[in-house]
């Protein structure tokens, strides 16, 4: 039945005429969800098949996506959708498993740390159970393994290890022979995520070197320094990958630049939006959502996605970090400021990203 709904030109035509959308099968979702949640059409359903603890505040969730999911490359992100108190919440996480695992047994893993005050992460830790079905988006992101092979340095901190785990497992299974070094910074040794897996890699993959630094277990904290980089053989010829807290990434970028590592050889991925310093006095203004015929006002550095959601609109979005471009839409007039770069747009019509665009005066959006 599902394949007919998805592929029938007649139903797609009918859906466009009656509902002004190309996915009429999604209107059957409430019924399909009661019969089998894995038949839902509006998003790719994924069943939680296992949950296990990594550290005191980090869990790994094993997911089995529906067969129509398109897969991923090591180091990429996915957006997930979870219903919490009747409201659909979307968040973005890195996949921590290798694509080889997905191709072998049809499962992927998300390794997620509990965040103080975090709505979705804490709900997942406290309430998400096996046999629950959640939504899974298409994979995205350019944090990818070098091809062809070349020496690599990873600098990771805390839960920033998750996309690195995906890449390391993939490289080990693919006979990656160029030298690979991981400098992993954690608060204490008890905070090492996937410790058993990392140490197992050192035992079976001769090209891999693991160095774990517990920053709070010595009298003087062991933050990343030139001394750590001095211990990496052939650093000048390495491609460098950074993932972790913003402070660690800023420090790593600075140290690598000083050593002559060019910007195009340094790759970063983020778990939160790195904001530019914005002039709050120029931000905010009236926002007109054209198709919804709705006018609202905004103040401060709230982005258009947050403004739309506060007005009870549900624009398409994914990562909420300016990476996936799923929230891109047309600005018909007015100026917005990019929260990531601090750069102002032109005053006329152009495509913008809702999740990183802050109004600067009156703005009209095609939503």
User: What's the pLDDT score for residue 11?
Assistant: 45
Distances (CA, A) of 280 to 112, 276, 302, 343, 360: 33, 11, 10, 14, 9
User: What's the pLDDT score for residue 91?
Assistant: 85
Distance CA 126, CA 133 (A): 16
The sign of the torsion formed by the CA atoms of 186, 192, 195, 201 equals negative
One domain for residues 174 and 259: yes
Q: Specify if 331 maps to a domain.
A: yes
Stretch 266-291: mean pLDDT, rounded? 76
Highest mean pLDDT among 146-160, 257-271, 296-310: 146-160
Q: Specify if 156 maps to a domain.
A: yes
Report pLDDT digits (tens) over 227-249: 999 999 999 999 999 999 888 99
User: What's the pLDDT score for residue 286?
Assistant: 92
Domain that holds residue 203: 152-269
Report pLDDT digits (tens) over 116-164: 888 899 999 999 999 999 989 889 888 999 999 999 999 999 999 999 9
Distance CA 41, CA 37 (A): 10
Global pTM reads 0.75
Q: Name the percent of the chain lying above pLDDT 90.
A: 60
User: What's the pLDDT score for residue 37?
Assistant: 57
One domain for residues 322 and 235: no
Stretch 318-347: mean pLDDT, rounded? 85
Structure tokens given for 223:
């933050």
One domain for residues 291 and 339: yes
One domain for residues 1 and 26: yes
What is the count of structural domains for the chain?
3
Highest mean pLDDT among 17-21, 123-127, 134-138, 317-321: 123-127
309-344: b (≥16 Cβ within 10 Å) or e: eeeebebebbbbbbbbebbebebeebbbbbbbeeee
- Cα 40 from chain centre: 23
One domain for residues 238 and 285: no
Q: Specify if 166 maps to a domain.
A: yes
Q: What is the CATH number of the domain that holds 214?
A: 3.40.50.80
């Amino acid at each position: 039945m599902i394949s007919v709904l998805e592929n029938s030109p007649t139903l797609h035509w009918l859906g466009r005429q009656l509902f002004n959308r190309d996915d009429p099968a999604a209107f059957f979702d409430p019924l399909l969800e009661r019969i089998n949640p894995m038949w839902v059409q509006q998003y790719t359903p994924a069943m939680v098949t296992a949950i296990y603890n990594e550290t005191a505040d980090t869990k790994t969730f094993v997911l089995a996506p529906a067969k129509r999911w398109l897969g991923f490359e090591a180091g990429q992100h996915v957006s997930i959708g979870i219903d919490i108190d009747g409201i659909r919440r979307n968040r973005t996480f890195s996949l921590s498993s290798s694509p080889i695992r997905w191709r072998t047994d049809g499962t992927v893993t998300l390794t997620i740390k509990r965040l103080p005050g975090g709505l979705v992460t804490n709900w997942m830790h406290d309430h998400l159970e096996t046999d629950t079905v959640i939504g899974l988006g298409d994979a995205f992101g350019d944090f990818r393994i070098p091809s062809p092979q070349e020496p690599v340095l990873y600098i990771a901190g805390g839960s920033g290890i998750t996309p690195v785990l995906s890449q390391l497992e993939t490289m080990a299974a693919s006979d990656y022979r160029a030298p690979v070094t991981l400098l992993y910074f954690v608060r204490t040794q008890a905070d090492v995520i996937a410790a058993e897996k990392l140490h197992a890699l050192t035992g079976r993959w001769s090209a891999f070197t693991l160095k774990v630094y517990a920053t709070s277990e010595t009298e003087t904290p062991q933050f990343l320094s030139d001394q750590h980089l001095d211990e990496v053989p052939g650093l000048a010829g390495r491609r460098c990958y950074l993932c972790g807290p913003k402070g660690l990434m800023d420090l790593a970028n600075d140290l690598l630049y000083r050593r002559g590592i060019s910007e195009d050889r340094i790759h970063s991925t983020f778990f939160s939006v790195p904001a530019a310093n914005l002039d709050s006095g120029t931000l905010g203004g009236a926002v007109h959502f054209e198709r919804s015929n709705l006018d609202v006002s905004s103040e401060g550095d709230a982005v258009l996605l947050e403004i739309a959601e506060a007005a009870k609109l549900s624009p398409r979005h994914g990562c909420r970090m300016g990476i996936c471009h799923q929230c891109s839409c047309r600005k018909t007039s007015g100026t917005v400021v990019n929260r990531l770069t601090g750069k102002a747009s032109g005053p006329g019509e152009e495509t913008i990203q809702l999740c990183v665009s802050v109004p600067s005066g009156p703005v009209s959006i095609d939503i």
